[in-house]
């Protein structure tokens, strides 16, 4: 079974089209979007409509959550004043160009998707999230100690 996962398109329609061209050639059995459809680029409405047209199950990324609620906060944890200033420009611009129907779609995106596959005797259980199961903008690195605080999303 082949499952395709993608995320962090950030309104980059040419990148999404290139991804679809590649993924279509691979013929996955299922495809899921793990969030951050919008932000940073100039095609948020078009990206949303491509995802919707293909009926791809998607979850909300931190940027989707903020833009869906017309917030001025993307939930990003920028490290520098320069990054923060660019992030403010991005979220302001994205809020300005979002169409009502596409913004409403962002508000329907769940925080996670549970997927269960039964393959003969093998059962596959997946929890699809953006960030972590606890927080939409939290990174979980494989070398992180179990009880160590989790690093936050540096770039949304």
Distance CA 94, CA 114 (A): 29
pTM: 0.85
All structural domains of the chain, each given as residue ranges with its CATH number in brackets, are 3-129 (3.60.21.10)
Question: How confident is the model at residue 149, as a pLDDT?
Answer: 53
Question: How confident is the model at residue 121, as a pLDDT?
Answer: 87
Question: Which whole number is the average pLDDT over 48-64?
Answer: 97
CB 12 within 8 A of CB 43: yes
Question: How confident is the model at residue 154, as a pLDDT?
Answer: 45
Residue-averaged pLDDT of the chain: 89
Distance CA 128, CA 132 (A): 9
Single out the residue of 12, 14, 16 nearest to residue 38, CA to CA.
Answer: 12
pLDDT in tens, 73-85: 887 878 888 988 8
Distance CA 148, CA 128 (A): 22
């Amino acid at each position: 079974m082949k499952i395709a996962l993608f995320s962090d398109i950030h309104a980059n329609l040419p990148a999404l089209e290139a991804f679809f061209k590649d993924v279509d050639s691979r013929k996955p059995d299922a495809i899921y979007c793990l969030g951050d459809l919008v932000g940073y680029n100039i095609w948020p409405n078009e990206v949303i409509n491509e995802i919707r047209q293909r009926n791809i199950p998607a979850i909300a990324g931190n940027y989707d959550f903020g833009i869906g609620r017309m917030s001025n906060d993307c939930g990003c944890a920028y490290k520098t004043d320069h990054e923060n200033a660019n992030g403010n420009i991005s979220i302001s611009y994205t809020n300005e160009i979002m169409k009502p129907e596409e913004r409403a779609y962002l508000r329907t995106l769940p925080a996670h998707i549970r997927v269960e596959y039964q393959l003969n005797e093998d059962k596959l259980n997946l929890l699809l999230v953006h960030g972590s199961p606890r927080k939409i903008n939290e990174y979980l690195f494989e070398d992180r100690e179990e009880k160590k605080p989790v690093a936050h999303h540096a770039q949304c």
